[in-house]
Chains A and B, each alone.
Chain A
């Protein structure tokens, strides 16, 4: 192997990489917030919601969970304009991530809701709360707390999956790597650096989600 590794391009192209990292972070921040919210709504429908809505949500969840993210993205970006819905690259990427995470997280959150002891619902009802109030004030937060580790892993998976949005020319980290390799012909080095950045981002994201969990869930004093 007589290949000379060359990382000198970093000095010239690091702004592209920084910008790419920013977009990747923005995508996952919006995706996680809106996606988990959508997941909560869908989980509520499937666990406790009106009967007529259940099959609709079930079909959505199954359809998303059994098709590749890349195809969902292409369908939204290239397919929806024929229905009159024209989205920019970033909007399409955001929408695809929200729809994707919404389906996965709803299954995870539903498991958390179903693990709630029956007595909690009964206690809520005995306090004259409506089923929705019981869900909102009694069931939701402990359910989320129960499945927070699984939900965090799913958010990391979606963040890593977001590398694909470069294919519709959303200018994320992978887009930056593609751009650099097409300018410098240093493909291996460019992808090596961006892979390392993704690894760091994944580790950081896991830490951040752990901290979020620490703040939003009530902590009981050790007895």
Chain B
């Protein structure tokens, strides 16, 4: 029987961590773009667009991410496409992140005082100009800490893609466990790698929150 050293295990896990990072980045950036579209739709003056965004968010926040992954994986297959795991994983994670980011950002836009909307309207600005020049620059400031905080959820969310067969850190953990029969060590290391990825983000989210709050108080 082959003996596996800790270094053998760790090396293989770190190689797989690449795909966790790539998938997280794709999901976060893609989710951000779709989330921005959702935000605009949620703030639209047309009632049906607001309702559409609201139900989208309700649907994706009210169902398990795992189910969304399964439905993306098996649902796309119904169109006769051969769905690779990375496609279903990326698609589901983008749509899922979008729902959360859209809702977070809506809260930030709504935190902007109503007088700002009225003042910019009284200057004859259109809806998009108001957003572009007055509301979003202020809302973005409030939005940074919760957005960074949500990126942690995205990284943890990618762990679920192992279940539909995408090979990233969690899947590698299972594979390595099956080879080495050392679940305690392997899953312990997997948890530590996730921690090393997520903790700096959590911490910086907290620090940013404190910093931006202090700035707010000094107005």
Contacts and interface: CB of A to CB of B under 8 A. Distances in A.
Nearest to B177: A78
Contacts of A198: 62-64, 67
B191 A67 contact: yes
A144 to B, nearest CB: 23
B94 interface: no
B156 A74 contact: no
Interface string B26-68: 0000000000000000000000000000000001001111111
Interface residues of B, number: 39
Interface string A77-95: 0111111000000000000
A199 interface: yes
B52 to A, nearest CB: 17
Given A66-B198, A67-B195, A70-B159, A163 B74 contact: no
A188 B160 CA distance: 18
B163 A160 contact: no
A160 B64 contact: yes
A191 interface: yes
Which secondary structure dominates chain A's binding surface?
helix
Contacts of B79: 1
A187 B183 CA distance: 30
A154 B199 CA distance: 20
A70 B71 CA distance: 19
B75 interface: yes
A118 to B, nearest CB: 19
A218 interface: no
A214 interface: no
Contact of B75 (A67, A156, A188): A188
Which secondary structure dominates chain B's binding surface?
helix
Interface string B185-201: 00110110011001100
Given A163-B64, A203-B62, A75 B188 contact: yes
Given A66-B198, A198-B64, A199-B62, A187 B70 contact: yes
A192 B74 CA distance: 10
Interface string B154-184: 0011011011000000100110010000111
Nearest to B196: A66
Contacts of B156: 66-69
A71 B67 contact: no
Contacts of A191: 67, 70-71, 74
A216 to B, nearest CB: 25
A163 to B, nearest CB: 4
A174 B198 CA distance: 27
Nearest to A186: B74
B63 A74 contact: no
Contacts of A161: 64
Interface of A: 1, 3, 62-63, 65-72, 74-75, 78-83, 156, 160-164, 167, 174, 177, 181, 187-188, 191-192, 194-195, 198-199, 202-203
Given A1-B79, A67-B194, A75-B188, 15 more contacts: A66-B195, A68-B160, A69-B156, A70-B160, A74-B174, A74-B183, A75-B183, A82-B182, A164-B160, A174-B64, A174-B66, A181-B74, A187-B70, A191-B70, A199-B63
Q: Which 3 A-B pairs have the closest CB atoms?
A: A68-B159, A78-B183, A163-B64
